[in-house]
Structure 1
Amino acid sequence: MTSELAERQRALELLRTAFPDYRIVFSKGRWAAVSAGSPPAVWFAETPSSLCGQLFQAQLRNGGTVVPFRDGDPS
């Protein structure tokens, strides 16, 4: 069984890998991401999947890319 803390750490790793242009944190039960723009954009979410969706949409709107979660052969 995976603990909640371990799941949260794994989610942070995956989000930071997929969206390297954002500062992503979990604090006080909420997920947050900040872009490096001027002014910076900020997103808040209750779950890592919600934050992932918001950042994915932001990347689509801004013409950015999403980095693969892992390199190499998917098989």
Structure 2
Amino acid sequence: MTSELAERQRALELLRTAFPDYRIVFSKGRWAAVSAGSPPAVWFAETPSSLCGQLFQAQLRNGGTVGPFGGSGS
């Protein structure tokens, strides 16, 4: 069984691979992403899947791309 820490690390890895233009972190039980820009946009979420959905919507609105979710190990 995967530990919570290992699962969180894997989620960070996948999110960072899929959304390389954002700084993504997990702190104090919340997920956050910050875009490069002036001013930068910030998203907060309770789960990695919620953050993923928010970033996907942001990419759709801004005409950006989404990287592969599988990473190099898939």
The TM-score range, normalised by the shorter chain, is over 0.9
Moved over 6 A (4+): 72-75
- 2-side partners of 1:74 and 1:29: how far apart? 27
CA offsets 1:24-73 (integer angstroms, 9 cap, x no match): 0000000000000100000000000000000000000000000112xx99
User: Are residues 1:30 and 2:30 paired?
Assistant: yes
Which gives a bigger RCO, structure 1 or 2 (Cα 8 Å, sep 6+)?
Answer: 2
Identical aligned residues as a percent: 96
Aligned length: 73
The TM-score, its normalising length taken from structure 1, stands at 0.92
Q: Which runs of 5+ in 2 are unaligned?
A: none
RMSD: 2.2
Q: Which runs of 5+ in 1 are unaligned?
A: none
Larger Rg: 1
